[in-house]
Amino acid sequence: MGKRSTENTSRDWRGTLFGALAGVISAGVLFAIAEFLSAFFGAASSPLTAVGSTFIDFTPAWMKNFAIATFGTNDKFVLLLSMGIVAAALSAVAGIVARKKFAAGATMVVAFAVVMAVCILTRASAGIADVFPLLMGTVGGLLALRFLSQSARTTSSTSTTANPPTAAEQTPSRRTFLVRSALVAGAAVVVGFGGTVINGARNTALAVRATLKLPAPKTTAAALPTGVQAPVEGVTPFVTPNDDFYRIDTALAVPDIDPANWQLRVHGMVEEEFTIGFDELLAQDLIESYVTLTCVSNVVGGNLAGNAKWLGYPLREVLARAKPTAGADMVLSTSIDGFSASTPLPVLQDDRDAILAVGMNGEPLPLEHGFPVRMVVPGLYGFVSATKWVVDLEVTTFAQSAGYWTSRGWNSHGPIKTASRVEVPRALGRVPAGSVPIGGSAWAQTKGISKVEVQIDDGAWQEATLAAEASVDTWRQWSYIWDNAPAGTHKVRVRAYDADGTIQIQDQAPPEPDGSTGWHSITFNVT
Ligand SMILES: Nc1nc2c(c(=O)[nH]1)N[C@H]1C(S)=C(S)[C@@H](COP(=O)(O)O)O[C@H]1N2
Ligand SMILES: [Mo]
């Protein structure tokens, strides 16, 4: 190989790299413009949100399961990161193609834009105007691609001809390309960042929530008995602060609902169809109660559970007003973003505190937890009961209709299974020898916990001390002091009994399709 051809190869390689860079930066321009404009057109017009949401909706149950089990409440971050990587790879290819033949690369970009437009238009709350930001972004992205791919093209020599590259095609153009790339990329970052800031500033729900005063409940929650918190340092707080409350939903962009425009439609198999607005809802007799929410995706020992003091209006009153007709056995609740849950009708009519919640731990619901109104139903996993941003209740039948996750492989009815977990010591933690405090939580919502037992290594099961019970709808803490713990690696296992004396299921089962089972155990070191 002569020196000449080696140079050409390295120039080709560099040209390809520049083409790829031109593609990625142009995609950045596309998304920056689209996200910026979506601040004015509404979240439904954001291509990133629409593509991600569409992806979530088509995610098979096993993958959702895997994502939540692996990434927990970081699942959305991982999804966005993966989307970013795929988008970068595709746009790099488009850039490489565009450097050789602009029309071909541009066609690829337009094809991606069409796919994104379909994602936008098929979302629950989208209208035709919602493709405008994407359209403008695509125009901007194509202009950037043409500009940058031209610059990238001149950086490689015209190696197919015998003519040596002219000076203009060589050294200066490499710098030119990099400078132009940096300028375009910088502009995209500024526009994208500006869009994020404006988006935050234009969030109506956030602004309204900040000054919203909720009425006092007609029926207040009984004061927490002393001793609901097990006397072991490191056990989960009995009441979960709102900021620490687990969040699980399919909403990539948190719905921005102005309570002034919020309405709940109650219809279906009822004698009295009606809609209720936010002010009217607040004017009803509200009740307050502690309820522990649990996610069906929680693995044995997992932390997808939280306990809060909820304020809201009993769903049994809502249904009493609507008067379900004979044969109805389910209420399909739907959120503004299209998520839905199927709740057995009798559960919403019995005397448990199933509510349309407006308050959480003394504040209006946080945006991520359903502002302005969500459902909270003691005893059922969230996926069949806890619809956030709820706007529609349809009284129907299980035979006729199905909730969001039910049509994706999960059960239609979702009673919470009795569970218990060890929280202290931490798994693989180190504790000093002697008297070792052990503690955790257990739950059997609507029934209550009657007994918790622990087993150290392979010893006999010992009864733990139960903390005070706040209500049968909340979790209950337990503790156990292991005296004279010898140094070494040890295992502790826990199991709970509900109020009927039924023992928690021992067989290990994964969350899908109706909740995990198994006795939790952890290993720790006594030093
Ligand atoms: N609108 C909407 N509501 C939803 C969901 C959702 O994806 N969208 N997820 C449900 C699930 S699976 C659970 S476990 C609870 C979680 O409520 P949290 O995020 O307030 O803890 O919300 C439920 N309500
Ligand atoms: Mo869930």
pLDDT in tens, 239-291: 999 999 999 998 888 999 999 999 999 999 999 999 999 999 999 999 999 99
Domain that includes residue 458, residue range:
419-526
In a domain, 211, yes or no: no
Confirm or reject: Cβ of 382 under 6 Å from ligand 1: yes
CA distances in angstroms from 225 to 234, 442, 467, listed in the order given: 20, 17, 10
- Could you report how far apart the first and last alpha carbons of the chain are, in Å? 66
Q: Are residues 46 and 93 in the same domain?
A: yes
In a domain, 277, yes or no: yes
Q: Are residues 347 and 446 in the same domain?
A: no
In a domain, 8, yes or no: yes
Domain limit, last residue, from 356, 379, 408: 408
E strand residue ranges, 404-487: 419-424, 430-431, 434-443, 449-456, 461-463, 465-466, 476-485
Q: Which ligand places an atom closest to the C-alpha of 73?
A: 1
Ligand 1 probe mutation, 73, 240, 249, most atoms within 8 A of CB = 249
pLDDT value, residue 63: 80
Closest CA to ligand 1's atom 12:
383
Ligand 1 probe mutation, 293, 309, 381, 388, most atoms within 8 A of CB = 388
What's the rounded mean pLDDT across residues 184-192? Answer: 96
Confirm or reject: Cβ of 56 under 6 Å from ligand 1: no
Q: Which atom number of ligand 1 is nearest to the Cα of residue 336?
A: 1
What's the rounded mean pLDDT across residues 499-511? Answer: 96
Closest CA to ligand 1's atom 6:
249
Q: What is the CATH number of the domain that holds 341?
A: 3.90.420.10
Confirm or reject: Cβ of 305 under 6 Å from ligand 1: no
Q: Are residues 456 and 425 in the same domain?
A: yes
Q: Are residues 451 and 403 in the same domain?
A: no
In a domain, 219, yes or no: no
| Buried b or exposed e, range 486-510, using 16+ CB within 10 angstroms | eeeebebbbbbbbeeeeebbeeeee
Domain limit, last residue, from 383, 408, 433: 408
CA distances in angstroms from 266 to 260, 272, 390, 392, 412, listed in the order given: 18, 8, 11, 6, 21
d(CA 48, ligand 2 centre) in Å: 23
Q: Are residues 397 and 456 in the same domain?
A: no
Closest CA to ligand 1's atom 8:
249
In a domain, 78, yes or no: yes
Q: What is the CATH number of the domain that holds 450?
A: 2.60.40.650
SS3 state of residue 276 = strand
Q: Do residues 257 and 45 lie in contact, with contact meaning Cβ atoms separated by under 8 Å?
A: no
d(CA 2, ligand 2 centre) in Å: 64
- Count of residues for the chain? 527
In a domain, 398, yes or no: yes
pLDDT value, residue 169: 44
Task: Summarize pLDDT for 387-409 with one digit per residue, the tens.
Answer: 999 999 999 999 999 999 998 88
Q: Are residues 104 and 146 in the same domain?
A: yes
Answer whether 0.75 is exceeded by the pTM: yes
Mean pLDDT of the chain: 92
d(CA 1, ligand 1 centre) in Å: 64
Q: Are residues 137 and 29 in the same domain?
A: yes
d(CA 246, ligand 2 centre) in Å: 10
pLDDT value, residue 27: 97
Confirm or reject: Cβ of 295 under 6 Å from ligand 1: yes
What's the rounded mean pLDDT across residues 125-153? Answer: 93
What's the rounded mean pLDDT across residues 65-72? Answer: 79
Confirm or reject: Cβ of 64 under 6 Å from ligand 1: no
Q: Are residues 263 and 305 in the same domain?
A: yes
Q: How many CB atoms lie within 10 A of CB 345?
A: 20
Q: Which atom number of ligand 1 is nearest to the Cα of residue 337?
A: 1
pLDDT of 491 higher than 70: yes
Confirm or reject: Cβ of 119 under 6 Å from ligand 1: no
Number of folded domains that form the chain: 3
Q: Which ligand places an atom closest to the C-alpha of 388?
A: 1
**Residues having C-beta closer than 5 Å to ion ligand 2:** 248, 295, 382-383
d(CA 386, ligand 2 centre) in Å: 9
Closest CA to ligand 1's atom 19:
247
pLDDT value, residue 8: 67
Domain limit, last residue, from 359, 379, 408: 408
Q: Are residues 198 and 261 in the same domain?
A: no
In a domain, 215, yes or no: no
Q: Are residues 401 and 429 in the same domain?
A: no
In a domain, 249, yes or no: yes
Q: For residue 12, name the pLDDT band (cuts at 50, 70, 90).
A: confident
Q: Are residues 404 and 423 in the same domain?
A: no
Q: Are residues 428 and 400 in the same domain?
A: no
